[in-house]
Amino acid sequence: MGRIKEKGTSGNAKNYITRSQAVRKLQISLPDFRRLCIFKGIYPREPRSKKRASKSSTPSTTFYYSKDIQYLLHEPLLAKFRDQKALAKKIAKALGRNEVSDAARFEKNLTPKMRLDHIIKERYPTFVDALRDLDDALSMLFLFANLPSTENIPPKFIAKCQRLTLEFEHYLIRTNSLRKSFLSIKGIYYQATIQGQDILWLVPYRFVQRTAEVDFRIMGTFVEFYTTLLGFVNFRLYTSIGLVYPPRFDLKSDEQGAELAAFQLEGKSAAENGENDDNEEMADAETNEKAQAEADKLTALADEDIESSANTQQLLDSQLETEIDSADAEAAAGVSTLDKFSSIDPTADSLLQPSPLADAQVASKLFEPFTFFLSREAPRHPLEFLLKAFGCKRVGWDMSLGEPGAYCAEDDSRITHQIVDRPDLPLPSPPTTDAEVDADEEGVVARKSNERVPGRTYIQPQWVWDCINAGQLLRPDLYAPGATLPPHLSPWVKARKGEYDPTVPLAEQQTAAEAEDAEDEDLEDVGDEEAENEDDAIEAALEEEAGGDSEDGGMDVELAHSDDESDEDKGNAPADDAEWGGISDAEEELDDAARQAREHQAELEAEALGKPLVTKTPAKGEAKKLRDQKRSQAEKEAAEDVERRKMMMPRRKRKMYEKMVYSNARKDEEAEKLREKRRKIEKKAAKGQ
């Protein structure tokens, strides 16, 4: 007889462990267990059968892998958590004895310092792994960098997040790694490419933030881990381009609103020699000289054939391997080893390697020849970051926003573009007196703040984002102050076939049925307008006749009529109301004669212009019925064929097909609503013109 297997020794009962069992096994409190799981990246798991995984009669709600909890038993942070628990007992005992000084001394001297460096190295064995997991870290740190300090969020916490995020932005500016950006309701999205990895994060707007009822202890644990991660990443990024980390930070300039200008980047050679200005430029030039040479050669390969490009690429790779390490070469070029494709067969065609240096070269020269000035109402920090990341070296702003870091004032003649977010600014008015003319020649008269400077381009902030996403400079007149801006679309969403696309004209994306409905509405509008104009003309003619009789010497006598008779009943009663007996035969004959005269006049005008006669179209519902009746036999046969094929499908596939058709129909309805809305807006704008 075989050995009887005990319950709970195999299967789900052995593979999973409940949260309460894990806390008892680790001998720590529940908050410390949560912190430890966040640091180590261990999350709850969902077993297939909670009843089998649970060892009690009532199934538990939270399960973990038993191996994950076993792995936590060897974590060095457990000793730190136990030391904190012992310290808390000592402080509570001292406060119970009213020994406040001893409690403060215990908290100052005996508080254990936790370092997460070993956890970062465990979770991210390579630098590429850390870059791939940087999206959530940047979004969380940028969020806390914009939050106000409260009792749950200390000021040192916020200052650390601000320092790390600004250091990361400086690296993007120096290497021109930023690629796209988008303004959304939630905030500003940014995308950068670092060593072949696309990193996307969200930065909230700088409004007054109201902290909601959230658990800041858990968020603070994530921020503690992410600050350590971003510190490691910033150190590796700075050293890969030959810069000293951490950069020198000027606290006084930061207090005056310098932000990005509060950091002073310096090269390694400059730090060793003590010459911060001249040697820094030399170090940067030496560091980027090889990368720039490679970028120039890669851009010149576009006009050559594949064989010559392969030979040049091999030559460049050999030069880089002999001069610098392979890791530094990949970091300087922005290409990871995973993105390099090598051919197994030497006789096969060579594979072209990805060249992000070309994108970096375009980004470094997009705004390079311009000098920008940011008005007070424009968002200063996002615009400064974007302009500098895409090659602009000269950005000025109003001194009330922070004097340090500003390149020029508003009256500077070197400014080529000014970014404003206010209504249209008028041109300066010419002088009216001789005194103003003399003063203007001497240069004494000051320019008004609400007037334009001749020769300067005024644009709205959206122009910067649209130029970056398009990869080229767009027409500035479309983004002039007070102008209706073009639609600001997400650069990561591409319109599919059948969906609404704001960039495409309406005539190219609307369906045949929508086009026919639009034509019917236009014809109805034209017919109504012509009828109204003709009725107005007839009324004017009748009034002129009545006025002519009075001028001949007759007496103006108002005929007796009922109070309920309206103006339309006097001479403009429609022909459809003939059944009503309140109109005399003379008025009916006059109405018929006027209608026949209108039809005859329309025929003559159409014949003179050589156009077909436009008759009054039926109502929209009747036109739709006529189109439904005129549907071709081929469409009916196609629909019947689809029904026959559905009958031959299995039930599962038929249900799936019906769901797909239903979802597509819903998408088509949404797109049709958007096109109808755009059609009304365009029609209203055409009437307004």
pLDDT score for 334: 47
pLDDT score for 571: 45
pLDDT band at 190 (very low <50, low <70, confident <90, very high): very high
The residue behind tokens 């494709």 is: 341
324 is a domain residue:
yes
pLDDT band at 302 (very low <50, low <70, confident <90, very high): very low
Catalogue the long-range contacts made by 430-439 (C-beta closer than 8 Å, 24 or more residues apart): none
pLDDT band at 682 (very low <50, low <70, confident <90, very high): confident
Q: Report the C-alpha gap between 642 and 651 in whole angstroms.
A: 15
Range with top average pLDDT, 296-305, 446-455, 610-619: 446-455
Q: What is the residue-averaged pLDDT of the chain? A: 77
pLDDT score for 50: 81
Residues 123 and 227 in one domain: yes
pLDDT band at 683 (very low <50, low <70, confident <90, very high): confident
582 is a domain residue:
no
pLDDT band at 180 (very low <50, low <70, confident <90, very high): very high
Crossing angle, helix 19-26 and helix 30-40, to 10 degrees?
90
Residues 159 and 229 in one domain: yes
Residues 76 and 215 in one domain: no
Q: 40-44, 245-249, 631-635: lowest mean pLDDT where?
A: 631-635
The vertex-358 CA angle with 357 and 364, nearest 5°, equals 85
Residues 203 and 300 in one domain: no
Residues 356 and 400 in one domain: no
Range of the domain at 648: 631-688
Nearest of 61, 55, 58, 71 to residue 14 by alpha carbon: 55
Q: Report the C-alpha gap between 363 and 383 in whole angstroms.
A: 15
pLDDT score for 178: 93
pLDDT score for 39: 94
The yes-or-no verdict on residue 623 having pLDDT over 80 is no
The yes-or-no verdict on residue 31 having pLDDT over 80 is yes
The yes-or-no verdict on residue 132 having pLDDT over 90 is yes
61 is a domain residue:
yes
Q: Which residues of 173-184 are buried (b: 16+ CB within 10 A; e: fewer)?
A: bbbbbbbbbbbe
The yes-or-no verdict on residue 584 having pLDDT over 80 is no
Residues 131 and 258 in one domain: yes
* Local structure of residue 476 (DSSP, 8 states): G
pLDDT score for 612: 64
Residues 409 and 476 in one domain: yes
Residues 74 and 121 in one domain: no
* pLDDT, greater one: 297 or 209: 209
The yes-or-no verdict on residue 303 having pLDDT over 60 is no
Nearest of 566, 461, 470 to residue 205 by alpha carbon: 461
Residue type, 151: E
Burial class (CB in 10 A: 0-12, 13-18, 19+), 576: exposed
Q: 25-29, 334-338, 358-362, 535-539: lowest mean pLDDT where?
A: 334-338
Q: pLDDT tens for residues 66-85?
A: 999 999 999 999 999 999 99
Residues 159 and 251 in one domain: yes
The yes-or-no verdict on residue 518 having pLDDT over 80 is no
390 is a domain residue:
yes
pLDDT score for 271: 55
Residue type, 65: Y
Q: 258-272, 335-349, 392-406, 455-469: lowest mean pLDDT where?
A: 335-349
661 is a domain residue:
yes
418 three-state secondary structure: strand
CATH number at residue 397: 3.40.50.10190
pLDDT score for 295: 43
- Report residue 661 as tokens: 């058709």
Q: Per DSSP, what are the bridge partners of residue 199?
A: 192
The yes-or-no verdict on residue 493 having pLDDT over 60 is yes
123 is a domain residue:
yes
Crossing angle, helix 326-333 and helix 306-323, to 10 degrees?
130
303 is a domain residue:
yes
Domain termination residue (choose one: 331, 363, 395): 363
Residues 233 and 126 in one domain: yes
Q: Report the C-alpha gap between 358 and 328 in whole angstroms.
A: 19
Compute the average pLDDT of residues 627-653.
80
161 is a domain residue:
yes
Residues 39 and 161 in one domain: no
Tell me whether strands 263-264 and 248-249 are parallel, antiparallel or unpaired. antiparallel
Q: 4-8, 591-595, 615-619: lowest mean pLDDT where?
A: 615-619
Q: Report the C-alpha gap between 379 and 403 in whole angstroms.
A: 16
Compute the average pLDDT of residues 184-201.
94
Q: Report the C-alpha gap between 233 and 177 in whole angstroms.
A: 15
Residues 132 and 231 in one domain: yes
Compute the average pLDDT of residues 322-343.
47
* pLDDT, greater one: 339 or 44: 44
Tell me whether strands 248-249 and 197-203 are parallel, antiparallel or unpaired. unpaired
Total tally of structural domains belonging to the chain = 5
